[in-house]
Structure 1
Amino acid sequence: MLVLPGGDERRGYDGDNFLLHADDLDGMRPTDLRAALKRAMDGDDVTVNITLDDRLDEDLSIAEPVALSYAHGQLLVTLCFSTDHHDVEEERIAELLGSVLRPYLQRNRSTLAGVELDPFDPSIWNITLACSTRGRDAAEMFRVGEGALALLVAYDTGKPSRETTLDLLRSGNAHVLIGQEEGPWLDVKADHYNLQTPHGKISIAQAVSRFANAENGGIVVVGIRGKKVPGGEIISSICPVPVDGRTLRQYQDAIEKYLYPPPDFLDIEAVPVNGGSLIVLHVPAQPEELKPFLVHGAIVDGRVEGAFISIVRRRGESSIPITAPAVHATLAAGRALLRRGELPKD
């Protein structure tokens, strides 16, 4: 019987594992859970399955493919990953997993601890992650496992989300995106913006502002070619661009000079790929009180109009201008709050 840390709740053992609800993990220190498992199992290894079902029923609740396990005195995260690749050698699997997961795991203070093939079904890979427990609860360890599994599924199926797209780019696996559609959160460009000219500087500022003004942010990638197809545009090839010690600074300077206000937590990085690099600009969702983001200058019929201010945002695969009525409504609302002495909370 497992007595949960911080209370008198107990969970039964069915001969193979315990079952906890994901809510049980909130605020639970990994060291306390590890100690409770050690006491319950007298030091023997055990798996703790996790369910998201509304009601916890040890007979009926469906366990998630991400679990926690106690093994060799450690609290680990385990993933059950099902793939269509049946004929991959175990050594190659470890190499593949390391390539795909390494950047994600590094950012989440975790490492790949091991991988084993299911002895009865080689399409099932049992993966173990070791997570630093410092400053995190058991729920965060579980979320690290969820993110790793989502990234593997995206790699395997070629259908990434925005978050897994960012991880695929950072891990050097941008080729997984080939054939995918550009969407409301992804914009690709084959060549560098010409940051020696006002045209290029305004263009990159507008590209970032489109996502800064959008509801959920987005990703701009330089070094990926798109192809127009009926109904939109798809990613057709990876074409890395040259990068030197000044490149990222030039992108940063152009955005700082031509975009106001500066977007919160804008991330610009170069990812090495096939002898070149991809420039990845990640624009997180921005606070509403910062919008609209304004670009100093506009491009009208191919010409730079430096005295203009342009405001654009992303809708689907297209960019649309923010209208004068929308800007006026935003300014009027702000003035009304000031008049009443109300200011947005930080």
Structure 2
Amino acid sequence: MLPTVRRVSDYEWIFGEARRWYDGAGSIVIKRNDLAAVTATDLARALRKEREDEVEPEPVLIDHAPDDQYEPKESIVEPISFVLTDDGHLAVNISFEGNEYLDNDDQLQAVVTPLIKPLLQRNRADLISLSVDGYRSSAPYFHTAVLGIPTRGKTLQHLYDTAESVVTLLEAATSGEVTRQTVIDLILGGRADLLIGQREGPWLDVKAQHYDFSNGGGQISLTQAISRFGNAEEGGAVVVGMETKKVPGGESIKSLKPVPLDGNILRRYRQVLENRLFPFPTGLKIDAVSTSPGSGLVVVSIPPQDEELKPFLVHGAIVDGRVEGAFISIVRRSGEDSIPITAQQIHSTLAAGRALLRRGQLPKI
């Protein structure tokens, strides 16, 4: 049985059943539809043979053009390529964009490693190396990383998919860390799976099930969650449809657990917040993202709010497990926990407002 990739002349290779050539600079250029037809072990073996023949193999590049177009010497290639490491293993080279200037590889390592570690662990992959962009003097900077991904029994498509997930996560987090907007962008872009392994925190709250709006307790719980983020510095997001697990110091996202969606789900969430939250936050958004017919995720996001709008008040409270509809509750976020605003803090806020009124300065509401 013929290998899935082989060299047939000084200029020509066979990938699957397709003939592929060099780009004029020593790299083989293949197409996206070649990936599923070629095993990773066959490519590694072919590149090692090149090295044994004293020809140091260049990266195998992937043409970005449509599959029916193939001009190797004029190709615009993808940020993902296949390389042979010094010890003869097939690895994946990725290029990713960053907006922050970094002096050296150690700084890049400190930024990137915590971000992609959960994703690599989930795919049993390793970060072999990182290289900072040393050629550009202004943003965007194009850094590179080399990933070691298991190859036994895998096609190039499997390695590509893992590398593409890493690139997607890194480019969504151009600031170097996952932010509220990163979470929203990944979920709305259909890549909520990349958040598995990320922790809940001061701006992220994850729920496995819909809030129960048939009673006041569920309505108050949602409203308090949004109120906490409104009263915090960074804003935040509540994501419904993800399961968490306990980890040291808090919880992390364990898996996707899509919840039922229907045509009225966004209206119900918004109606609860409009009825129970005052004032209504500026820029609050509620989105539903389908993951399969009739189910998906709900994302309620609130950007940082002007201090003049704070504190956000919740009409209703849960006292000793009972819903007290006549009460007003005020809560704020502290790490992964929520704590009530104290009477002293409420009094100081009211006193500051009264002082402004006496000076004829009115806050914007």
TM-score normalized with structure 2 length: 0.56
Query: 1:215 is matched with which residue?
Result: 233
What does residue range 33-112 of structure 1 map to in structure 2 within 5 Å? Answer: 63=137, 66=140, 79=142, 81-84=144-147
Aligned-partner residue type, residue 246 of structure 1: N
Which ranges in structure 2 are unaligned for 5 or more consecutive residues?
Answer: 1-98, 104-133
**Do 2:309 and 2:364's aligned partners in 1 also have CA atoms closer than 8 Å?**
no
The 3 A distance-change label for structure 1 pair 83 and 254 is: farther
For 1:99 and 1:52, locate their aligned partners in 2 and report how far apart those are by CA, in whole Å: 20
Q: 2:302 aligns with which of 260, 272, 283?
A: 283
Query: 1:108 is matched with which residue?
Result: none
Query: 1:123 is matched with which residue?
Result: none
Query: 1:151 is matched with which residue?
Result: 172
Q: Does 1:335 align with 2:354?
A: yes
The C-alpha deviation readout for 1:27-51, integer Å capped at 9, x for no partner, is xxxxxxxxxxxxxxxxxxxxxxx99
The 3 A distance-change label for structure 1 pair 258 and 229 is: same
The 3 A distance-change label for structure 1 pair 316 and 95 is: closer
Q: 1:267 aligns with which of 276, 285, 292?
A: 285
What is the CA-CA distance between 1:324 and the residue it aligns to?
A: 0.9
For 1:335 and 1:344, locate their aligned partners in 2 and report how far apart those are by CA, in whole Å: 11
For 1:81 and 1:282, locate their aligned partners in 2 and report how far apart those are by CA, in whole Å: 32
Number of matched pairs: 234
Query: 1:325 is matched with which residue?
Result: 344
Q: Does 1:309 align with 2:349?
A: no
Aligned-partner residue type, residue 137 of structure 2: A
Which ranges in structure 1 are unaligned for 5 or more consecutive residues?
Answer: 1-49, 55-59, 68-78, 102-147
For 1:149 and 1:234, locate their aligned partners in 2 and report how far apart those are by CA, in whole Å: 19
For 1:52 and 1:311, locate their aligned partners in 2 and report how far apart those are by CA, in whole Å: 41
The C-alpha deviation readout for 1:317-339, integer Å capped at 9, x for no partner, is 00010111111111111110110
For 2:161 and 2:252, locate their aligned partners in 1 and report how far apart those are by CA, in whole Å: 31
What is the CA-CA distance between 1:199 and the residue it aligns to?
A: 1.3
Query: 2:270 is matched with which residue?
Result: 252
Q: Radius of gyration: which is bigger? A: 2
What is the CA-CA distance between 1:82 and the residue it aligns to?
A: 3.4
Percent identity among equivalent residues? 52
The 3 A distance-change label for structure 1 pair 98 and 227 is: closer
Query: 2:190 is matched with which residue?
Result: 172
Q: 1:227 aligns with which of 221, 245, 250?
A: 245
What is the CA-CA distance between 1:228 and the residue it aligns to?
A: 2.3
The C-alpha deviation readout for 1:183-241, integer Å capped at 9, x for no partner, is 11100000000112211111111111110111110010000112223321111111000
Aligned-partner residue type, residue 289 of structure 1: E
**Do 2:165 and 2:194's aligned partners in 1 also have CA atoms closer than 8 Å?**
no
**Do 2:101 and 2:139's aligned partners in 1 also have CA atoms closer than 8 Å?**
no
What is the CA-CA distance between 1:179 and the residue it aligns to?
A: 1.9
The 3 A distance-change label for structure 1 pair 83 and 183 is: farther
**Do 1:150 and 1:164's aligned partners in 2 also have CA atoms closer than 8 Å?**
no
Query: 1:109 is matched with which residue?
Result: none
**Do 1:51 and 1:62's aligned partners in 2 also have CA atoms closer than 8 Å?**
no
Aligned-partner residue type, residue 213 of structure 2: L
The 3 A distance-change label for structure 1 pair 244 and 329 is: same
Deviating 4+ runs (over 3 angstroms): 50-54, 60-65, 79-83, 85-101, 343-346
For 1:51 and 1:339, locate their aligned partners in 2 and report how far apart those are by CA, in whole Å: 46
Aligned-partner residue type, residue 219 of structure 2: K
For 2:251 and 2:190, locate their aligned partners in 1 and report how far apart those are by CA, in whole Å: 22
